[in-house]
Amino acid sequence: MELCAGTASLSLWAMGRCRPLTGYFGSKARWAGLLAEALDADRPDRVVLCDAGPWGDVWSTLATGGGVAVGEVLHDLQRRVDTDGPIAAWDACTVPPPAEAAERAARYLWLQARTANNIAIWWDGEQWAGPTGSRFSDATRDATTTQRGGERRVAKANSRQAITHGMRYPATIARRIAALDRAIDWSRVTVHHGDNREVTPIPGATVYLDPPYVGCPRYAALLPRADVLDLVARWRAVGARVAVSEAVPLDLGGTCRRLDHPKKPEWVSATWPMRLPEQLPLLGAA
């Protein structure tokens, strides 16, 4: 079970040794293997992904057989990139999300893949927005462009986030989706696109919770620390094992491990004595 699933890096690795579809701020892609070992969650029989933001929409589409259709839209975007350039493809995606699920998922994935520093973006009801309130819809129209490496690149302008780097080709995402469809049995995956506080706790489950860190950039769905601790208590009450990633260690009654992140502190705290890979420094054990 991944609450606040995002790119579902841990589950994709545990189920099929698959890489995330895009980069994403706060993704645990580099730690997926170690976390699967520490949580004793490798090769699960069943996976539940919960996310209230755009990723929940993506996983709902892919888990119900939409991968081929999403890939087709991404290949259409690739042809747009090849013909008119990445800025034209970006502009084509920054209109309000369409009603059709595959088109909506593909556009979001391309926007997220191209966003500078992999900062999370979402549709706030009126525009594409990010942690600082940046207006992504106007980024390419208001930004200045330069020629670099044969590709027009967009720089920041008027303090707005622009597509300064990221995954260049929509077809790359399409290939990763095809790889997921080959490696993962989607019938074993349940997706809840909504508030994780509404999910009924599953007795005996192993739960990984990677909420927005306190004091760090916000995401589309907010989850205060008090609600995180309430979720831990609810799941623990039915016999589930719960682990939480945060910027600080949490006293959940089990063990804490520090992830050796080069730029910021990250900790994994658990309600039980985790299996402890030597690569993860130990803080303490109950």
Among 174, 193, 228, residue at a domain's last position: 174
Cβ distance 170 to 59 under 8 Å?
A: no
Alpha carbon of 168 to those of 67, 106, 143, 149, 154: distances in Å?
Answer: 20, 14, 18, 12, 13
| Residue carrying the six token digits 């990677």 | 210
Helix, strand, coil percentages (3-state) for the chain, rounded to 5, are: 40, 15, 45
> How many distinct helices (H) and strands (E) make up the chain?
9, 12
In angstroms, the CA 152 to CA 275 distance is 48
Q: What is the pLDDT of residue 199?
A: 92
Same domain for 227 and 251: yes
- Flag whether 113 is in a domain: yes
Among 174, 200, 215, residue at a domain's last position: 174
- Flag whether 258 is in a domain: yes
Domain count, the chain: 2
Question: 22 Cβ partners below 8 Å, 6+ apart?
Answer: 7, 109, 112, 113, 118, 167, 173
Q: What is the pLDDT of residue 222?
A: 67
pLDDT truncated to tens, each residue of the chain (286 aa)? 899 899 999 999 999 999 999 988 778 888 899 899 889 999 999 999 999 989 999 999 999 999 999 999 999 999 999 999 888 888 888 889 999 999 999 999 999 998 866 788 888 888 888 766 555 544 433 332 333 333 333 333 333 344 445 677 999 999 999 999 999 999 999 999 999 889 999 999 999 999 875 545 555 456 788 889 999 999 999 999 999 999 889 999 998 888 876 677 789 999 999 876 665 665 543 3
Q: What is the pLDDT of residue 71?
A: 98
In angstroms, the CA 10 to CA 31 distance is 8
- Flag whether 45 is in a domain: yes
Question: 278 Cβ partners below 8 Å, 6+ apart?
Answer: none
Q: What is the pLDDT of residue 124?
A: 82
CB atoms within 10 A of CB 285: 12
Same domain for 111 and 25: no
Same domain for 170 and 74: yes
CB atoms within 10 A of CB 23: 18
- Flag whether 180 is in a domain: no
Alpha carbon of 255 to those of 12, 95, 97, 284: distances in Å?
Answer: 24, 46, 42, 6
* Residue 191 structural domain: 2-66+185-285
Q: What is the pLDDT of residue 130?
A: 76
- DSSP type of residue 187: G
Same domain for 74 and 141: yes
101-114 and 170-183 are packed helices; what angle lies between their axes, rounded to 10 degrees?
120
In angstroms, the CA 196 to CA 62 distance is 19
Same domain for 215 and 272: yes
Can you read off the two tokens belonging to residue 112?
Answer: 């997220």
Q: What is the pLDDT of residue 160?
A: 35
Same domain for 130 and 153: yes
Same domain for 201 and 166: no
> Which helix (H) or strand (E) is 54 found in, with range?
helix 54-63
Q: What is the pLDDT of residue 223?
A: 77
Same domain for 123 and 141: yes
In angstroms, the CA 22 to CA 209 distance is 20
In angstroms, the CA 138 to CA 161 distance is 9
Query: Half-sphere exposure of residue 108, counting CA atoms within 13 Å on the CB side?
Result: 31
Q: What is the pLDDT of residue 24?
A: 83
CATH of the domain at 237: 3.40.50.150
- Flag whether 179 is in a domain: no
Cβ distance 237 to 229 under 8 Å?
A: no
Cα angle vertex 114, ends 109, 119, to 5°? Answer: 85
Among 107, 140, 174, residue at a domain's last position: 174
